[in-house]
Amino acid sequence: MPFQVSPGVNVSEIDLTTVIPAVSTTEGAIAGRFHWGPADKRVLIDSESTLASQFGKPDNNNYQEWFTAANFLAYGNALYVSRVLNGANNATASGNTSILVKNDDDYENNYSSGVSGSGDWTAKYPGTLGNSLKVSVCASSAAWQNVISTPTFTLTADSTTVTASANVASLVVVGDSLVHANSTVNVDVKISAIAANGTSLTVTTAPKNVDLGGASLTTTAGDVKRRWEYYNFFDAAPGTSTYATRNGGSGDELHIAVVDEDGDITSVRGQVIERFSAVSRANDALATDGTSNYYKEVINQRSSWLWWASHVDNMTSAGGAASSTFVNSTNIPTTVSLSGGSTGAAPTNAQLINGYNYFQSAEDVDVSFILGGDSNSTLVTHIINNICETRLDCIGIFSPESADVVNNSSYAGKEAEDAIAFRDTLPSSSYGVMDGAWKYQYDKYSDVYRYVPMNGDTAGLMVRTDTTRDPWFSPAGFNRGNVKNVVKLSYNPKKAQRDLLYKAGINPVVTFPGQGTVLFGDKTLLAKPSAFDRINVRRLFIVLEKAISTAAKFTLFEFNDAFTRSQFRNLVEPFLRDVQGRRGIYDFKVVCDETNNTGEVIDRNEFVGDIYIKPARSINFIQLNFVAVRTGVDFEEVVGQF
């Protein structure tokens, strides 16, 4: 019991319930060129639809890594994506092509007080997709809807030209609707262009006789209302918020519409993709739920498409306290189209290496598979040597280069030979796995068929094996190795080619008529003969090492005595018995006593636990012997002779 200075009762609680935890083995990771989304950081994606919305759709420049990621997600639901840039920049309201805001952290650290040179808005992420954005701000009730008392307008049936009696350029903007105030006249026309003289307007739909009540109509003063282009998307005009009223201010509210002007985002031109109603110009404004209602903060925190860059033109006192009187210097909305965004060029090896290095630390992110996508030998070697063999808890999955196996028809077997030549440039390691082909699949986003590397599928098969069985089962074969979404393979290796590939440590992918496309091998890239040249053994030891080392952390700073050593054995042995019962190992032995924790070891403040494992082996070769015997022969006499 602890020492006590004076009489009393002391209660102690000692926790001896520590167990070895289950560890995650299904997360993947990939770095590459994507056309939207945060760059230079890890982002967890759970499905193909999330991948498309967060990082944009695939195109001719990035379909290899895009579909590698999507194919992995067809089997699992956890993939970290690192977007890599080379010369990209954000679209802006000013069209400035030198603005680069990579991600949320970059904005908060460097641009939260404004993005100089961008105008009012900056696209959330670098890329050409931002060029499709339009932002319209309605900052007063008059900008939402107002009566044009003068001049008058002349509308002609079946004509898309509306003539004003005087210059109306300061009263209306493109996108506004002109609505007749007289209920007996049904005219509602949308302005698509305003002539330089300001007296000739082009409208999108010509009014008809029935609309005008005749062949033409000349309005009188006060007959026409102009309405904001997005009038119907909001319930009421912006005014004064309850918070501003309570604090003595007025006129702080505004509406913001974010629009897919070109249709590149939604495939519908002019589609409203975000609406922010009755947000405030006051920097201290609060919504009814206590969160900030300041329009800058609302956009930055809730918009998927925009960063605030500076206060919108024509809004006086924006950013002031809620006690201010906020006014608009114009009675028309402020609308701007973003431009100047660029996706940039294909990343270099150095840039891709930096992208993959976001997965380098096991303490920062838990991943089990590093997907190579369309990687060359330089990148593959870095992933194996500097990420997988540094972490020791994940494996890299790779495919041959496209030129090796796609449309490589020099002569029969050339694909296998070139794939082996590529493999020979890579290191020997049990932390690397290579498949042998690319697959042909349908790209629904572009309505074309594409050849895609198969390492996303190979890693996905391991995820599916984890889900249906355990990590120490082989992901290959007809039970667990069936590949999804295959139209055809880049080549279908025959037995002779499969023999060559397998000897080189490449796992063939084979289409069998009537049985589908199957991963037909479970080797790692380890060149020397060893139990670790098999995927299931390498993954078994990753699971054991990861789980037991996690539990062993709780032994740190305890005494190296018989009690602690016994406690460690009692922790590890039940876990290994469970793995043995689930067919992961044939046998095991845990040694943690005075034989390996000698006085010298104890004096160095060390603790040693030796764990011996007999890993279960997968069947790669089957020999069936059919023996014909004479009628009178006793089977007991011949069994075992052949």
pLDDT at position 4: 58
Among 200, 227, 254, the domain boundary falls at: 227
pLDDT at position 122: 97
Please determine, for residue 2, whether its predicted confidence score (pLDDT) is greater than 80: no
Mark whether 179 and 301 lie in a shared domain.
no
Helix, strand or coil for residue 544? helix
Assess if residue 151 is contained within a domain. yes
pLDDT at position 17: 58
Assess if residue 544 is contained within a domain. no
Mark whether 476 and 376 lie in a shared domain.
yes
Beta strands in 149-199 (DSSP E): 153-156, 161-164, 177-180, 188-194
Mark whether 40 and 131 lie in a shared domain.
no
pLDDT at position 16: 59
> What is the residue-wise DSSP string for 95-144?
--S-----SHHHHHHHTTT--TTSTTEEESSSSGGGGGEEEEEE-SHHHH
CA distance 92 to 499: 56
Determine contact, residues 389/431, Cβ cutoff 8 Å.
yes
Assess if residue 491 is contained within a domain. yes
Among 187, 206, 227, the domain boundary falls at: 227
Domain that holds residue 317: 104-136+233-337
Give the count of beta carbons closer than 10 Å to the beta carbon of residue 237: 18
Question: What percentage of residues in the chain have a pLDDT greater than 70?
Answer: 96
pLDDT at position 627: 78
Mark whether 475 and 600 lie in a shared domain.
no
Enter the tokens of residue 484. Answer: 């999804």
Determine contact, residues 102/127, Cβ cutoff 8 Å.
no
Mark whether 289 and 156 lie in a shared domain.
no
pLDDT at position 3: 59
CA distance 151 to 149: 7
Most confident of 7-11, 148-152, 221-225, 343-347: 343-347
What would the pLDDT profile of 531-572 be if each residue is shown by its tens digit?
A: 999 999 999 999 999 999 988 898 899 999 999 999 999 999
Count of domains forming the chain? 4
| Of 180 and 316, more confident | 180
Mark whether 422 and 332 lie in a shared domain.
no
For residue 394, give every residue at least 6 positions away whose Cβ sits within 8 Å of its Cβ, in sequence order, or none.
29, 359, 367, 368, 369, 370, 387, 388, 431, 542
Assess if residue 379 is contained within a domain. yes
Assess if residue 10 is contained within a domain. no
pLDDT at position 18: 63
Among 206, 227, 248, the domain boundary falls at: 227
What would the pLDDT profile of 368-377 be if each residue is shown by its tens digit?
A: 999 999 999 9
Determine contact, residues 178/187, Cβ cutoff 8 Å.
yes
| Of 582 and 1, more confident | 582
User: The domain spanning residue 174 has which CATH number?
Assistant: 2.40.30
Helix, strand or coil for residue 63? helix
Determine contact, residues 326/241, Cβ cutoff 8 Å.
no
Q: Mean pLDDT throughout 384-401? A: 97
CA distance 340 to 117: 12
71: left (phi over 0), alpha (psi -120 to 50) or beta: alpha
Enter the tokens of residue 227. Answer: 């309405």
pLDDT at position 469: 92
Assess if residue 638 is contained within a domain. yes
Enter the tokens of residue 137. Answer: 């701000």
DSSP H or E segment with residue 635: helix 635-638
Mark whether 55 and 151 lie in a shared domain.
no
pLDDT at position 420: 97
Mark whether 393 and 292 lie in a shared domain.
no
Q: Mean pLDDT throughout 573-597? A: 94
CA distance 612 to 106: 48
CA distance 222 to 341: 43
Give the count of beta carbons closer than 10 Å to the beta carbon of residue 146: 19
pLDDT at position 620: 81
pLDDT at position 583: 93
Q: Mean pLDDT throughout 29-57? A: 96
pLDDT at position 133: 98
Mark whether 173 and 114 lie in a shared domain.
no
CA distance 582 to 580: 5
Ranking 26-30, 368-372, 430-434, 553-557 by mean pLDDT, the lowest is: 553-557
User: The domain spanning residue 379 has which CATH number?
Assistant: 3.40.50.11780
Strand pairing partners for 275? 257
Mark whether 568 and 584 lie in a shared domain.
yes
Burial of 235 (0-12, 13-18, 19+ CB in 10 A): exposed
Report in angstroms the alpha-carbon separations of 76 from 48, 79, 119, 348.
10, 8, 42, 29
Burial of 623 (0-12, 13-18, 19+ CB in 10 A): exposed
pLDDT category of residue 463 using cuts at 50, 70 and 90? very high
CA distance 48 to 70: 5
Ranking 37-41, 84-88, 398-402, 407-411 by mean pLDDT, the lowest is: 407-411
Assess if residue 523 is contained within a domain. yes
Mark whether 109 and 158 lie in a shared domain.
no
Please determine, for residue 11, whether its predicted confidence score (pLDDT) is greater than 80: no
Assess if residue 74 is contained within a domain. yes
| Nearest one of 110, 88, 112, 108 to 100, comparing CA atoms | 88
Please state the pTM of the whole predicted model: 0.90
Helix, strand or coil for residue 429? strand
Ranking 41-50, 99-108, 202-211, 513-522 by mean pLDDT, the lowest is: 202-211
What's the mean pLDDT when you consider all of the chain?
Answer: 93
Mark whether 406 and 304 lie in a shared domain.
no
Ranking 222-226, 242-246, 258-262, 518-522 by mean pLDDT, the lowest is: 222-226
